[in-house]
């Protein structure tokens, strides 16, 4: 059983004081664990705090309490080292929690942190920046570019409604994509290191956080109506069959993806606004030791 934890809590949107985080920490202490906590001022400080905790040593795990963006920053600080990462999913989408099959209840999270096995996870890279879940260029990044973070902290996923509609009615993007050297055209691209997207939605059915390799999802809509249809297929869990029928979605296993355009197109990384094109994504070689529930995910390639 793990006894010593270094907890990095995202102070943004009151995450550090949410009932889930507070109750998980209480349960850890009740089990005899010793906690050292910090609330970094920004993402760079979260990454640095993880590095310093790993360098100091003596911790059974470093715990990221927050959303997928906070988890990515802490993971970046730990990648390549021996210190295990644990999570308390206190964000909006909590994609990583869905990916590893973690129920967001205090008891289940605390049990995983204390006793869960450790899995080796590959950290992919986008323009040299590590990520765990996915990067996107085009539509989803445009949604994030107009998202009101303060509204999101109050109403959760409802805050995405306006930005989603705004991104849907604007002209679609024209992207040039090379997947392992082969050229493609797309209006929106997601390169996935995980099966799940936006919460429970399955975007990349043949990969997973515990697997090796990436999948490139190429959305080839030529109109707003077609893009809306793709979003509905994703929400209904029908994106894979749509791609299998050879429609306007293509899902390709890959190890390297390049994305460019004749104008700057926004990108996102693990659900946070990132940069603009050009974008270079590769599977990466650095590993992360991730604490997972004893009951592993049940995807088609889960181990």
**38 within a domain of the structure (yes/no):** yes
Here the CATH number for the domain that contains residue 260 is 2.60.200.40
Give CA–CA dist 116/1, Å, rounded. Answer: 9
Instruction: Choose the weakest-confidence range: 15-24, 62-71, 255-264, 268-277.
Output: 15-24
- Residue 279, pLDDT > 70, answer yes
Tell me: the pLDDT tens digits for 111-170? Answer: 999 999 999 998 999 999 999 999 999 999 999 999 988 888 788 889 999 999 999 999
**246 within 8 A of 227, measured Cβ to Cβ:** no
Residue 296 falls within a domain, yes or no?
no
Residue range 230-240: mean pLDDT, rounded:
83
pLDDT score of 299: 44
Would you say residue 52 lies in a domain?
yes
Helix crossing, 224-235 with 161-169: angle to 10°? 140
State how far the alpha carbon of 285 is from the alpha carbons of 213, 216, 220, in Å.
Answer: 10, 18, 30
User: Taking 60 as the threshold, does the pLDDT of residue 296 lie above it?
Assistant: no
DSSP state letter for 244:
H
User: Is residue 303, in this structure, part of any structural domain at all?
Assistant: no
Q: Which residues contact 290 (CB under 8 A, 6 or more apart)?
A: 75, 84, 85, 100, 118, 119, 120, 121, 209
Domain with 275, as residue range(s), is 129-282
Count: domains in the chain: 2
Share of the chain above pLDDT 90, in %: 71
Overall residue count recorded for the chain in this entry:
303
Distances (CA, A) of 168 to 164, 185, 215, 263: 6, 19, 24, 19
pLDDT tops 60 at residue 86? yes
| pLDDT tens column, 187-218 | 999 999 999 998 888 999 888 998 888 999 99
Report the distance separating Cα 56 and Cα 126, nearest Å: 29
Q: For the domain that residue 81 is a member of, what is the CATH number? A: 3.40.50.10330
Lowest mean pLDDT among 1-15, 59-73, 178-192, 267-281: 1-15
Do 106 and 138 belong together in one domain? no
How many angstroms separate the CA atoms of 37 and 8, rounded? 6
Instruction: Identify whether residues 76 and 205 lie together within a single domain.
Output: no
Q: 195 and 247, same structural domain?
A: yes
């Amino acid at each position: 059983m793990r006894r010593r934890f270094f907890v990095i809590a995202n102070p943004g949107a009151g995450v550090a004081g949410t009932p889930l985080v507070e109750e998980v920490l209480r349960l850890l202490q009740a089990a005899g664990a010793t906690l050292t906590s910090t609330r970094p001022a920004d993402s760079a400080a979260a990454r640095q705090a993880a590095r310093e905790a790993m360098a100091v040593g003596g911790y059974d795990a470093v715990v990221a309490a927050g959303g997928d963006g906070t988890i990515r920053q802490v993971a970046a600080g730990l990648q390549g080292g021996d210190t295990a990462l644990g999570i308390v999913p206190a964000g909006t989408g909590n994609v990583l929690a869905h990916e590893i099959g973690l129920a967001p209840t205090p008891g289940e999270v605390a049990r995983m942190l204390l006793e869960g096995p450790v899995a080796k996870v590959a950290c992919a890279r986008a323009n040299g920046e590590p990520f765990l879940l996915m990067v996107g260029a085009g539509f989803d990044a445009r949604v994030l570019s107009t998202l009101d973070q303060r509204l999101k902290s109050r109403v959760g996923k409802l805050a995405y409604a306006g930005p989603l509609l705004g991104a849907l009615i604007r002209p679609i993007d024209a992207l040039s994509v090379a997947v392992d050297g082969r050229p493609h055209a797309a209006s929106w691209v997601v390169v996935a290191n995980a099966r799940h997207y936006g919460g429970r939605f399955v975007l990349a059915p043949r990969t997973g956080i515990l697997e090796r390799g990436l999948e490139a999802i190429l959305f080839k809509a030529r109109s707003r109506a077609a893009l809306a249809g793709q979003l509905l297929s994703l929400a209904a869990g029908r994106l894979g069959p749509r791609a299998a029928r050879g429609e306007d979605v293509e899902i390709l296993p890959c190890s390297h993806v390049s994305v460019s355009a004749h104008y700057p197109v926004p990108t996102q990384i693990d659900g946070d606004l990132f940069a603009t094109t050009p974008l270079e994504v590769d599977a990466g070689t650095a590993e992360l030791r991730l604490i997972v529930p004893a009951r592993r995910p049940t995807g088609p390639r889960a181990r």
